[in-house]
Amino acid sequence: MFCTRLYLYAFYSNQTNHSLMILSDTRILEEIEKGTIVISPYDRKYLGTNSYDVHLGKYLATYKDRVLDARAHNEIEHFEIPAEGYVLQPGTLYLGVTEEYTETHAHVPFLEGKSSTGRLGIDIHATAGKGDVGFCNTWTLEISCAQPVRIYAGMPIGQLIYFVVEGEVKTFYNKKGNAKYNGRTVRPVESMMWKNEF
């Protein structure tokens, strides 16, 4: 899925004569030093060639109702992943959360699954891999699996990459009055689709 999205980004860049640029490890470190990228907790050993590894937080959640309604506020139930791990089951959507709180003030953050996660049949997001400039929070994960698999709090779950922004940003996500996911949290957040007018 990521390769497909990257191809589309590259195609758009070629069509508009803009270059697609992802920050290298050196540039990520420079932005962290400047404070335009914040990762907490941070450990240098999790910095890859052009990404930063993030980890699964201790909370999961599932929806209370089996049939969801896009116009309704679908409530969720939170629970902690036990020390012995928790077995995910196919056919159920689990909401997870990253251990890491992040802030991105000058780039577009993009969260993707690690290849080792994918090889266990785990997908960490349905559609919402892209963050916005100014996003300051933990990341809620939309987790599904191809077959039963045991997961653990603290396991590597994904990687953040950072795209360069072309042009001036007029409204940062953390300054938007109608942003639905600005409230800082250490637990997964349910869909706020019901707040849209349609």
Judged against a pLDDT cut of 90, whether residue 174 lies above it is answered with: no
* pLDDT tens per residue across span 28-37: 999 999 999 9
Question: What's the whole-number average pLDDT of the chain?
Answer: 90
Which of 21-25, 125-129, 140-144 is the least confident region? Answer: 125-129
Helix or strand or coil: residue 69?
coil
As its CATH architecture, domain 2-189 has: Distorted Sandwich (2.70)
142 counts as catalytic: yes
* pLDDT tens per residue across span 52-110: 999 999 999 999 999 999 999 999 999 999 999 999 999 999 999 999 999 999 999 99
| Residue 183 pLDDT | 83
Q: Which of 101, 89, 102 is nearest to 36 (CA)?
A: 102
Calpha distance 65→69 (Å, rounded) = 9
| Residue 104 pLDDT | 96
From 31, 142, 166, 197, the catalytic residue: 142
Calpha distance 189→8 (Å, rounded) = 29
| Residue 19 pLDDT | 59
| Residue 182 pLDDT | 83
Q: Residue 54: CB partners within 8 Å, gap ≥ 6?
A: 46, 98, 99, 100, 102, 111, 139, 156, 157, 158, 159, 160
Q: Is the pTM value of this prediction over 0.85?
A: yes
Ordered by start, the domain boundaries in the chain are 2-189
Q: Which of 127, 125, 118 is nearest to 149 (CA)?
A: 118
| Residue 178 pLDDT | 83
